Amino acid sequence: MGETSTVVRDSSLRNGKLQLRREARTNQAGQVLDPAALDLVARLHARLEPERRELLAAREARQRDYDAGGLPGYLSPDDSVARQAAADWRIAPLPADLLTRRVEITGPVSDPKMVINMLSRTEAGDRADAAMLDFEDSMKPAWENVVRGIENLRGAVDGTLSFTKPGKGGEPAREYRIDPDDMPLLMVRVRGLHLDETNVMIDGAPVAAGLFDLTLSAWHTARRLMDQGKTPKYYVPKCEHHLEARWWNRLFSLVEEALSLPAGSLRATFLIETLPAAFQMEEILWELRERAAGLNVGRWDKIFSDIKVLREHPDRVLADRGSISLNRPWMKSYAMRLVRICHKHGAFGMGGMSAFTPGSTAELREEQTKKVVEDKAFEASIGHDGCWVSHPYFIGPAMSAFPRTNQLDVIPDIDERPDLLPVGGEPRTLDGLRKNVRVGIAYMHGWNRDIGCVAWDDLMEDLATLEISRVQVWQWLRHGIALDDGTPVTRELVGRIFDEESARIEGEVQAAMSGKGGDVEREVQRFADAREDAEAIFTEASFRPFLTCRSDPAGMDLDSRRARLRAEGTQASGTQAPL
């Protein structure tokens, strides 16, 4: 399908020509894309897009330096921004509803049932303190998902969001509704700086997806939240530099100005989930001081970034992804430094994700719960104010690790500038390779159906864990490392593991669907397609910085979407040699 755009309306301001792809002009889109909101998108694009492109070009330049042997590091203490960031200052006082965030639950904003579950109490009576409705890692940025996400967000704020699950086999339909009088703090995570929303164009150029998400979310809900006595609260992902934080702060300020909101009304937590940002977290917080709520240890994306940034450094080839957590010195130092900096300046230091989905047996669930409590107790012990979970089942166990409202008074004892560079090493195992391959197949199976997170092998796998799996296989191939048993990692070995895991998954699908109806052959073929896509992306010659940097055009068929995604690999920038 072609990618031509159709003019919806031309802005009368100095915005350029605003265009919406023809296939994106659905009835549902018409309910949320107010003409005045699109005018605002156009104005903000005109003000901020040139600088965004410069910031993305600067990322590429830094990566070329890393590929040539350079290493990320701290700003010079004599740098003016570094001096200001290290001085004695405090963020703007936190509103009352941002002072308790012991457990935050996350999930895709596009799924109304999941949103309702995140905003509701469990059968055990547990409720998260906050819910992050996600336009990013857990949501495939298909146009229908984006539009539905805005609609769900609006319904959540209005207290009207509902969902009907159709009955099956004579069972009655089930109704899901939120209780507007018993809801957690509502937050929105927008898409990252690198992502384009290709369905909204201005003078033929796509708008920044994060700008679009923030503008439409604030347009529909910021004033309503404030009228309810609540704080409009956002998460921002994938920041790599304090100048990027400055760009985001300008965007927030311009949105406030356009909506006639007092300065600093929109509050934000930034995820520190890239290796370059780990060295600039204090400078990033300083740039956001008028609206900061805190920083977050985005540990999974951080592992992805550790490998990606240093992918050409043979002495820093990392161990199995499953063996890396806050148990590694550079990871623990990164987490403790984040808490120290946040609390020093009056901001929250949020912990990472527990990605379990409830196991199928009581014994497995008990084991998972023990691991969640241990992980969260450790985070609490080093001063974190709260953590993330991906499933409501684990809200209560995670909450038990945080008995205090917050820990803003805890200042971890750690050097101001610890060593944050990842260290290569073992274990590097065949089981680790299998895990990466298996996650790749499972995730691409969901991605091809416009699903951005999948429950798989008792874990919630989202884009971050797909990216870790992808970059690790790529790096092991790139350097031809030997596994702990001496087996060299070659394309032939990776291909064999893809064969074996694909056959294993086929058997699992047939066993799971046997006697339950459904088109088994179609599902097997879907997994075969996913295997083909995952293997191609995991082993492509030039490493793409992200799985994708653009949303799919609305209305594009599956075969075209798969081909389009695969083609992004041939456009990847970088100086590394082919595998």
**Which of 111, 137, 462, 533 is flagged as catalytic?**
462
Q: Provide the pairing of β-strand 18-21 with 196-202.
A: antiparallel
Under a CB-based contact definition with an 8 Å cutoff, are residues 537 and 566 in contact? yes
CB atoms within 10 A of CB 289: 18
292 forms beta bridges with 268
CA distance 40 to 484: 56
* Interhelix angle 491-513/430-447, nearest 10 degrees: 60
CA distance 464 to 460: 11
CA distance 411 to 413: 6
Q: Which residues contact 517 (CB under 8 A, 6 or more apart)?
A: none
Residue 267 a catalytic site member: no
Q: Which residues contact 428 (CB under 8 A, 6 or more apart)?
A: 317, 319, 320, 476, 481, 482, 483, 484
Residue with tokens 């080093």: 382
**Which of 127, 148, 189, 478 is flagged as catalytic?**
189
Residue 564 a catalytic site member: no
Q: Which residues contact 293 (CB under 8 A, 6 or more apart)?
A: 94, 98, 233, 267, 268, 269, 347, 348
**Cis-peptide, bond into residue 206, ω within 30° of zero:** no
| Kind plus residue range of the DSSP H or E element containing 104 | strand 103-108
Under a CB-based contact definition with an 8 Å cutoff, are residues 109 and 153 in contact? yes
Active site residues: 189, 462
